[in-house]
Amino acid sequence: MNDHLVGERRLARRCSLPGALILYSIAALALLAEAVHCAMLPAAELPGLWGDPLFEALLVLSQMTAIAAILLLGEFLRHFGADASPFGAGQSARLLAAAGLLVGRVLLEAAIKLSFDLGSLAAPPIPCILETELDLKLVAIVIFLGCLAMVVRYGNALKEDSDSFV
Protein backbone atom coordinates (compact mmCIF):
# COMPACT_ATOMS: atom_id res chain seq x y z
CA MET A 1 0.00 0.00 0.00
CA ASN A 2 1.33 3.47 -0.79
CA ASP A 3 1.89 6.11 1.90
CA HIS A 4 -1.21 8.10 0.96
CA LEU A 5 -3.48 5.07 1.40
CA VAL A 6 -1.82 4.15 4.69
CA GLY A 7 -2.33 7.70 5.95
CA GLU A 8 -5.97 7.78 4.92
CA ARG A 9 -6.60 4.42 6.59
CA ARG A 10 -4.96 5.58 9.83
CA LEU A 11 -7.05 8.76 9.82
CA ALA A 12 -10.26 6.81 9.24
CA ARG A 13 -9.41 4.40 12.06
CA ARG A 14 -8.47 7.23 14.43
CA CYS A 15 -11.82 8.94 13.81
CA SER A 16 -13.96 5.82 13.93
CA LEU A 17 -13.10 4.69 17.46
CA PRO A 18 -13.99 8.01 19.16
CA GLY A 19 -17.10 8.12 16.97
CA ALA A 20 -18.10 4.68 18.22
CA LEU A 21 -17.57 5.77 21.84
CA ILE A 22 -19.71 8.85 21.28
CA LEU A 23 -22.51 6.74 19.77
CA TYR A 24 -22.30 4.27 22.67
CA SER A 25 -22.51 7.20 25.10
CA ILE A 26 -25.55 8.63 23.33
CA ALA A 27 -27.24 5.22 23.44
CA ALA A 28 -26.42 4.82 27.14
CA LEU A 29 -27.84 8.28 27.96
CA ALA A 30 -30.99 7.57 25.93
CA LEU A 31 -31.39 4.22 27.69
CA LEU A 32 -30.96 5.91 31.07
CA ALA A 33 -33.54 8.55 30.12
CA GLU A 34 -36.00 5.81 29.11
CA ALA A 35 -35.39 3.96 32.38
CA VAL A 36 -36.04 7.15 34.38
CA HIS A 37 -39.16 7.84 32.32
CA CYS A 38 -40.48 4.32 32.95
CA ALA A 39 -39.65 4.50 36.66
CA MET A 40 -41.43 7.84 37.11
CA LEU A 41 -44.46 6.91 35.01
CA PRO A 42 -46.52 5.02 37.63
CA ALA A 43 -46.39 7.91 40.12
CA ALA A 44 -46.95 10.69 37.59
CA GLU A 45 -50.29 12.37 37.01
CA LEU A 46 -50.16 12.78 33.26
CA PRO A 47 -52.82 14.45 31.11
CA GLY A 48 -54.54 12.79 28.18
CA LEU A 49 -52.90 9.84 26.48
CA TRP A 50 -49.64 10.17 28.40
CA GLY A 51 -50.85 7.84 31.12
CA ASP A 52 -52.31 5.19 28.78
CA PRO A 53 -50.23 1.99 29.16
CA LEU A 54 -50.46 1.03 25.48
CA PHE A 55 -49.46 4.52 24.38
CA GLU A 56 -46.51 4.55 26.78
CA ALA A 57 -45.40 1.05 25.75
CA LEU A 58 -45.43 2.04 22.08
CA LEU A 59 -43.43 5.18 22.84
CA VAL A 60 -40.83 3.17 24.76
CA LEU A 61 -40.66 0.64 21.93
CA SER A 62 -40.13 3.48 19.47
CA GLN A 63 -37.27 4.83 21.56
CA MET A 64 -35.73 1.37 21.93
CA THR A 65 -35.62 0.94 18.14
CA ALA A 66 -33.70 4.20 17.86
CA ILE A 67 -31.31 3.17 20.66
CA ALA A 68 -30.70 -0.20 18.98
CA ALA A 69 -29.96 1.55 15.67
CA ILE A 70 -27.48 3.87 17.41
CA LEU A 71 -25.75 0.85 18.97
CA LEU A 72 -25.50 -0.86 15.57
CA LEU A 73 -23.94 2.26 14.07
CA GLY A 74 -21.50 2.38 16.98
CA GLU A 75 -20.63 -1.26 16.26
CA PHE A 76 -20.08 -0.37 12.60
CA LEU A 77 -17.56 2.29 13.60
CA ARG A 78 -15.91 0.07 16.22
CA HIS A 79 -15.40 -2.72 13.69
CA PHE A 80 -14.14 -0.22 11.14
CA GLY A 81 -11.50 0.94 13.58
CA ALA A 82 -10.56 -2.42 15.05
CA ASP A 83 -10.88 -5.10 12.37
CA ALA A 84 -8.09 -5.94 9.96
CA SER A 85 -10.50 -5.41 7.08
CA PRO A 86 -13.04 -2.63 7.69
CA PHE A 87 -15.26 -3.86 4.85
CA GLY A 88 -17.15 -7.09 5.14
CA ALA A 89 -20.51 -8.74 5.08
CA GLY A 90 -21.00 -7.97 8.78
CA GLN A 91 -20.49 -4.27 8.21
CA SER A 92 -23.10 -4.18 5.46
CA ALA A 93 -25.50 -6.20 7.63
CA ARG A 94 -25.06 -3.74 10.54
CA LEU A 95 -25.96 -0.80 8.31
CA LEU A 96 -28.98 -2.58 6.84
CA ALA A 97 -30.16 -3.63 10.30
CA ALA A 98 -29.83 -0.04 11.56
CA ALA A 99 -31.79 1.18 8.53
CA GLY A 100 -34.44 -1.48 9.16
CA LEU A 101 -34.78 -0.44 12.79
CA LEU A 102 -35.20 3.19 11.77
CA VAL A 103 -37.84 2.20 9.20
CA GLY A 104 -39.57 0.34 12.02
CA ARG A 105 -39.44 3.47 14.13
CA VAL A 106 -40.97 5.59 11.35
CA LEU A 107 -43.77 3.06 10.89
CA LEU A 108 -44.31 2.71 14.64
CA GLU A 109 -44.55 6.46 15.13
CA ALA A 110 -47.02 6.71 12.24
CA ALA A 111 -49.06 3.88 13.75
CA ILE A 112 -49.05 5.59 17.14
CA LYS A 113 -50.26 8.84 15.63
CA LEU A 114 -52.91 7.12 13.53
CA SER A 115 -54.14 4.84 16.30
CA PHE A 116 -54.49 7.48 18.93
CA ASP A 117 -55.84 10.17 16.58
CA LEU A 118 -58.44 7.78 15.13
CA GLY A 119 -59.99 7.21 18.54
CA SER A 120 -61.32 10.74 18.56
CA LEU A 121 -62.43 10.85 14.91
CA ALA A 122 -65.80 9.80 13.60
CA ALA A 123 -64.77 10.37 9.97
CA PRO A 124 -63.00 7.82 7.77
CA PRO A 125 -59.26 7.41 8.42
CA ILE A 126 -58.11 8.63 4.98
CA PRO A 127 -57.73 12.33 5.98
CA CYS A 128 -55.87 11.26 9.11
CA ILE A 129 -53.50 9.09 7.06
CA LEU A 130 -52.77 12.00 4.75
CA GLU A 131 -52.11 14.29 7.71
CA THR A 132 -49.66 11.93 9.41
CA GLU A 133 -46.37 13.70 9.87
CA LEU A 134 -43.43 11.86 8.37
CA ASP A 135 -39.98 12.58 9.78
CA LEU A 136 -38.15 13.32 6.54
CA LYS A 137 -34.78 13.54 8.30
CA LEU A 138 -35.19 9.98 9.48
CA VAL A 139 -36.30 8.84 6.02
CA ALA A 140 -33.20 10.50 4.53
CA ILE A 141 -30.96 8.73 7.06
CA VAL A 142 -32.60 5.39 6.23
CA ILE A 143 -31.99 5.91 2.51
CA PHE A 144 -28.40 6.97 3.18
CA LEU A 145 -27.72 3.93 5.39
CA GLY A 146 -29.20 1.56 2.83
CA CYS A 147 -27.03 3.04 0.08
CA LEU A 148 -23.96 3.06 2.31
CA ALA A 149 -24.54 -0.63 3.03
CA MET A 150 -24.43 -1.29 -0.71
CA VAL A 151 -21.22 0.76 -1.03
CA VAL A 152 -19.65 -1.30 1.77
CA ARG A 153 -20.73 -4.51 0.01
CA TYR A 154 -19.12 -3.25 -3.17
CA GLY A 155 -15.94 -2.36 -1.24
CA ASN A 156 -15.88 -5.88 0.19
CA ALA A 157 -16.31 -7.38 -3.29
CA LEU A 158 -13.43 -5.24 -4.62
CA LYS A 159 -11.25 -6.32 -1.72
CA GLU A 160 -12.03 -9.99 -2.28
CA ASP A 161 -11.34 -9.58 -5.99
CA SER A 162 -7.98 -7.90 -5.37
CA ASP A 163 -7.07 -10.54 -2.77
CA SER A 164 -7.67 -13.25 -5.38
CA PHE A 165 -4.99 -11.71 -7.61
CA VAL A 166 -2.38 -11.77 -4.85
Q: Is the pTM of this model over 0.85?
A: no
pLDDT of residue 117: 59
pLDDT of residue 160: 79
| Residue 41 CB partners (closer than 8 Å, separation 6+) | 51, 56
pLDDT tens-digit map of 66-98: 999 999 999 999 998 887 777 888 899 999 999
Rounded-to-integer distance, Cα 153 and Cα 89, Å: 7
Single-letter residue type at 125: P
pLDDT of residue 61: 92
DSSP string, 107-139: HHHHHHHHHHHHTT--S-SHHHHHH----HHHH
